[in-house]
Structure formats: structure tokens, C-alpha cells
Amino acid sequence: MDPKNYFKSMKINNDNLSQIIQLTHQSIADPKKLTDRVIQFGTGVLLRGLLDFYIDHANRTGDFEGSIVLVKSTNQGDINAFKEQNNHYTIQTEGIENGEIIQHQQIVTCISKVLTVQHDWDQLVNIAKQPNIEYIISNTTESGIVEVDEDLTGIPKSFPGRLTALLYARFLHFAGNPNNGWIILPTELIDNNADKLKAIVISIATKSNLSAAFVEWIENSNHFCNTLVDRIVPGKVETSGWEYEDELAIAVEPFNLWAIEVKNDTLKEKITFAAANPGIRLMDSIQNIKELKLRLLNATHTLLCPIAIIARHALVRESLNDPSIENWTRNLMRTEINRYLLTKGILEITINEFASVLIDRFKNPFIGHQWQAIFQNSTQKWIQRVIPILHTWNTLHTTSSATIALSMACYLKCHHLFNETELALDSQIQKALSQGSSPSDILGQKNIWTVDLSLNSSFVELVTKYMQDLDTKSIFQLIH
């Protein structure tokens, strides 16, 4: 009998794990030899495809030897798949790296248990009292780090409330021993995520009339580290051709980054899972990494999006596989964006290192990243991501940026060419265009852009010219 046919219907779990790794020629960290060291709030694909990926890899190299207690915070869905698979799952990495297509798998065995807040709160509190628990990791979405009125005598409603309750249980259990604090690593996509979380935790503790000694212990014996994560995790992967069943399998791109703001060398030494993972960067400040991601990745997406839509491209990879658009994108990154980042004190070698992998990421043939989705909230994205770059360029040069002007012209033109069912158009721009407003009038509306973009006559002239050119020329004629 063909071994593949024999194993094909097997589900990945403890009973079948040894046979599966033999069949797939993989190496794993033996879950029986791992000790719980992490409590993780969130079971989503970003955490499983990045942070758990890092910890699993550190286990296999022998740098960590720790397991994760996952906490499902919401009532949506269930944890049956985790139970059936003894919390094991597969990460399939697929994409382009150094110009070459890569595909490989990693069986993750670092999750010891999955709990739900509603059904397993008491068990979670007891786990929080264990001395071996050293780290709290979270991704509860951007709306997760908010303060709400809490009653800590029951199950708290919010993630900050739950963290406060667990910290208090640990504080009491260890009688305020300063050596039993945690390293707390929120990955929610908000600025200064750890600083905001810490402030809310202290506020909840104070409003709940918990002791001043506890608040002091939060302040001085726990380390709240701001972090930034970056990896595209499309989610569930097709496994029909695999030798085994895995309902939790996910796909990820090759690129991976977890920047952690660490204020001293002693703390850096405590984050032991970082040593095995080049994608984890322990830094005095993550501000430069935030700027690199915001401008090179996000602003490039925002500026390229209307051009790709005018070109009638549906997917990011489709656009970047066009040589003329690839060249336009590279030029944007090494001129306008590069010069902006240099003014922020970021070294050119650092800029080039970050930029060098972006084209490969954009071209990933396994990710169907849709321009239509990227177009959403474009005006707000222009305000946050692009206008600072434009302002810097205008300060340094007598003539405004033709590259940014062309993108703006395409963005305004999209409001002529498409309707609300096709694109998430800006209602204020739509209204202005329907009333016959000129590009200069629209660019001058602070209620749209928060600043008057018409003050730079060179930019207005370029946008106006490109909008006229788009009536008679193709976008490919204009980007050359």
C-alpha cells in the first residue's frame, strides 16, 4: 500500500504526530518536554503565523523550551479543532525570497492548551500564579486596548481588565515579590501599544481600589514593551493534497518581523526566544521601524493603488509583474520615500535593507491581495502616510513630486470612473467633483485633507495636467 494513501486521512494530533513527521521529513520540538512559559490572549492567524512561529522555532533550536497557553477572548467560534489536534497545526510558508519561489512547512507544537475566558477563567487565574509563566502576549485587535468600567470580582469584560485581574492574582500569590513580574508584549496595531495598555491597567487597578503597593508592583516589577509586527498571514490554507488532515493549517509569507522596544540589556537577555529568530529585533526604540513600515510598505501601497486601479489591475502581484509599474514603484521608494526617511535620521543602508524585500513581497504569487480592499479609507491613508512625504519633498525641492501628483490625479480620477458599488469612494470628493470643482479647489479643502494642498502651485499644476492627460492617454504612457 502506498504510504501516502495510508496516512492521508490521519488528523494531526498526539497519536499520529510521530508518523506524520516521519512521512513529511520534518523536525519538531517534543511537546512533552516543554514547560508553560507564555500566556497568549488571542487565537487568530497573525499570532499563530508569527509569534507562535517564532517560539516554536526557538524550541526546536533549544533556545526557549517553553509552551504557550492560548486564551480565546471572544465568544465567536469554538476551540474544538484545537482539542481534536492536541493544539498542533502546520504553518505553510510560501512566497518569493531573493527572487526565488519558496514553499516549506513547519509543524507547530508549542501550544499546550487553549482556554476560553468564559469557561476556564478560574483555571487561567491559577496558571497566572505559576512561577514559570514569564510572558504575556496579546493581539486583541485595535479595539482591544481600551478602558471600560470593570468589576474585578467576576470575569472582567476587557483584555486590560483581565490582565489587571491576573496581575493582581499573581501579586497576591507571590506577596509582591519583584522577581515575579511579567514581560508583557502586546502586538495590537496601535502606536505605543504597551504604554497605552499599562496606563489602562494602572487606571483600572486604581479605580478598583486595589492597593498602592500593587500599583507600584505593576510599575516597577513588570515590563510593558511596545512592539510592532509585520507579516502577511492570508489564513487558512488548502490541504487537500497533503498526507494528513489539519483544520488549523495556515499560510504565511516568508517575510517576518517583530520589533520589540527593550530599554536595557538585562531585559533583552530575558527575551530568550529572540536569539533563534533573525526576524525579532530587540531595539531601544521602534520608532524608525514604524516609519519604515508606514512609508515604504503602507505609503507605497496607498500611492500605487489608484494607478493600478486605473490600469484595471485587480491584484497587487498583477501590477508588480508589469515592468513599467515595477520600475515606477522602485523609483518612488528610492526618491520621494527615501528622502523623507533620511530627514528622520534613518540611515540609507537601513532604508535600502527594508525596501529590498518589498518587491518580492508585493509579487508573492500565493497571496491574492486585492487593490479594491487597499483602496478603502484612501483619503485617511493619504493624510497619515503620504502627505508628510509630499510636504517634505516640497520643502526640499522647488518643483513638487510628479510621482505623487500622478497618484493623486489617478485617485481623483477614480471618483469619475467608478461608482460606490465598485470602490469605497470618498463622499466629499465625489460631491466636489459633481459640483464641477477644479482639482485646485478639491486640493484646497482642509475638510478633506486636513491641510491646504493647493498652496503648492507646482503640485496643483501637475495634478491638473495629469488629470487632463488621463482623458487621452493610458496610465502606462504616463508612468514611463
pLDDT score of 184 more than 60 = yes
Mean pLDDT calculated for residue range 306-313? 98
Amino acid at residue number 73 = S
Residue 77 has pLDDT above 80, yes or no: no
CATH architecture of 16-284: 3-Layer(aba) Sandwich (3.40)
C-alpha cell at 288: 524608525
Kindly state the helix (H) or strand (E) to which residue 70 belongs, with its residue range.
Answer: strand 66-72
Question: Is it the case that residue 2 has pLDDT exceeding 60?
Answer: no
Task: Give the pLDDT band (50/70/90) at residue 76.
Answer: confident
pLDDT tens, residue by residue, 79-99: 999 999 999 999 999 999 998
pLDDT in tens, 358-368: 999 999 999 99
pLDDT at 357 over 60: yes
Residues 23, 5 contacting (CB under 8 angstroms): no
Topology at the third CATH level for domain 287-477: N-(1-d-carboxylethyl)-l-norvaline Dehydrogenase; domain 2 (1.10.1040)
Alpha helix stretches (DSSP H) within 229-279: 265-270
Higher pLDDT: 30 or 144? It is 30
Amino acid letter, 24: T
Residues 48-64, mean pLDDT to the nearest whole number: 97
pLDDT band at 353 (very low <50, low <70, confident <90, very high): very high
Mean confidence (pLDDT) of the chain: 95
Check whether 7 has a pLDDT greater than 70.
no
- State residue 60's pLDDT score: 96
List phi, psi (to 5°) of 96: -115, 130
Band (pLDDT 50/70/90 cuts) for residue 1 is very low
pLDDT at 15 exceeding the cut of 90: yes
- Please list the helix, strand and coil fractions of the chain in percent, rounded to the nearest 5, in that order: 50, 15, 35
Say whether 287-477 and 16-284 share the same fold. Answer: no
Q: Is the dihedral of CA 233, 234, 236, 237 positive or negative?
A: negative
Interhelix angle for 457-469 vs 387-396, to 10°? 120
Which residue do the cell numbers 529568530 mark? 277
How many distinct helices (H) and strands (E) make up the chain?
26, 13
Confidence band, pLDDT 50/70/90 cuts, at residue 78:
confident
Q: Give Dmax (Cα) for the chain.
A: 76
Cα separation, 229 vs 143, whole angstroms: 17
What was the pLDDT predicted at 75? 75
Q: What is the pLDDT of residues 419-448, one digit of tens each?
A: 999 999 999 999 999 999 999 999 999 999
CB neighbour list of residue 468: distance below 8 Å, 6 or more residues apart: none
Query: Which residue in 228, 339, 360, 361 sits closest to 289, CA to CA?
Result: 228
- Beta-strand ranges (E) seen in 207-295 are 223-224, 227-230, 235-236, 250-252, 257-261, 280-283
Q: Domain map of the chain by residue range?
A: 16-284, 287-477
What are 97-135's pLDDT values in tens digits?
Answer: 998 999 999 999 999 999 999 999 999 999 999 999 999
Mean pLDDT, range 206-233, rounded to an integer: 97
* Average confidence (pLDDT) over 141-168: 93
Residue 339 has a pLDDT of: 97
Q: Does the structure show a pLDDT above 70 at 255?
A: yes
Q: How far is CA 394 from CA 299, 327, 330, in A?
A: 17, 23, 20
Where does the pLDDT of residue 73 fall: very low under 50, low under 70, confident under 90, or very high at 90 and above?
confident
Please report the pLDDT score of residue 235 as a whole number.
82
Give the separation between CA 434 and CA 419, rounded to whole angstroms.
12
Whole-number Å distance between alpha carbons of 63 and 277 = 10
Which band of pLDDT confidence, cut at 50, 70 and 90, is reported for residue 241?
confident
Q: Where are the beta strands (DSSP E) in 233-273?
A: 235-236, 250-252, 257-261
User: To the nearest 10°, the Cα dihedral for 396, 401, 407, 410?
Assistant: 130
How distant, in Å, are the alpha carbons of 39, 109, 282, 410, 417 from that of 32?
18, 10, 29, 57, 60
